[in-house]
């Protein structure tokens, strides 16, 4: 059975802090892993990771995949209140389906 576990489930930090969100997965015929940010509505795409050890960056956000450890991390530096959201990790499974973790609810206090 496909399984995706994110940790922590909830995180509260102060503006300016750096956070690391974790995702571990066990999916059949793993292809790639996607990270999404979800505020009030639909998830919005952040990163797609296919190769191990190659960091993807977008501004203050970065992410990396470790295929050997079946895991990925999402880092956010110099956090801002606008980073408050649920962050979802979703590996693409062999049958071309996204399998989502429970999400990490991140709250940034001013």
Nearest to 109 by CA among 17, 45, 30, 1: 17
CB of 71 to other proteins, least distance (A): 16
Of the candidate spans 13-21, 57-65, 75-83, 98-106, the one that interacts with other proteins by CB under 8 A turns out to be: 98-106
The CA-atom distances, in angstroms, between 85 and each of 16, 23, 108 are: 16, 16, 9
Half-sphere CA count of 86, side-chain side, radius 13 A: 15
Of the candidate spans 3-11, 12-20, 56-64, 68-76, the one that interacts with other proteins by CB under 8 A turns out to be: 3-11
CB of 6 to other proteins, least distance (A): 8
N- to C-terminal Cα distance for the chain? 41
CB of 104 to other proteins, least distance (A): 10
Determine contact, residues 13/83, Cβ cutoff 8 Å: no
Q: Report the site for other proteins in 30-89 (rule: CB under 8 A).
A: 31-32, 34, 41-43, 45, 48, 88
Binding residues with other proteins: total (CB under 8 A): 23
């Amino acid at each position: 059975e496909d399984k995706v576990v994110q940790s922590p489930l909830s995180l509260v930090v102060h503006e300016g802090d750096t956070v690391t969100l974790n995702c571990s997965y066990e999916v059949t015929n793993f292809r790639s892993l996607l990270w999404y940010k979800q505020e009030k509505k639909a998830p919005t795409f952040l990163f797609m990771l296919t190769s191990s050890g190659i960091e993807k960056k977008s501004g203050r956000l970065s992410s990396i995949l470790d295929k050997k450890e079946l895991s990925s991390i999402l880092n956010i530096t110099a956090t801002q209140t606008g980073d408050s959201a649920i962050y979802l990790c979703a590996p693409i499974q062999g049958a071309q389906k996204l399998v989502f973790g429970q999400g990490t609810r991140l709250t940034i206090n001013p």
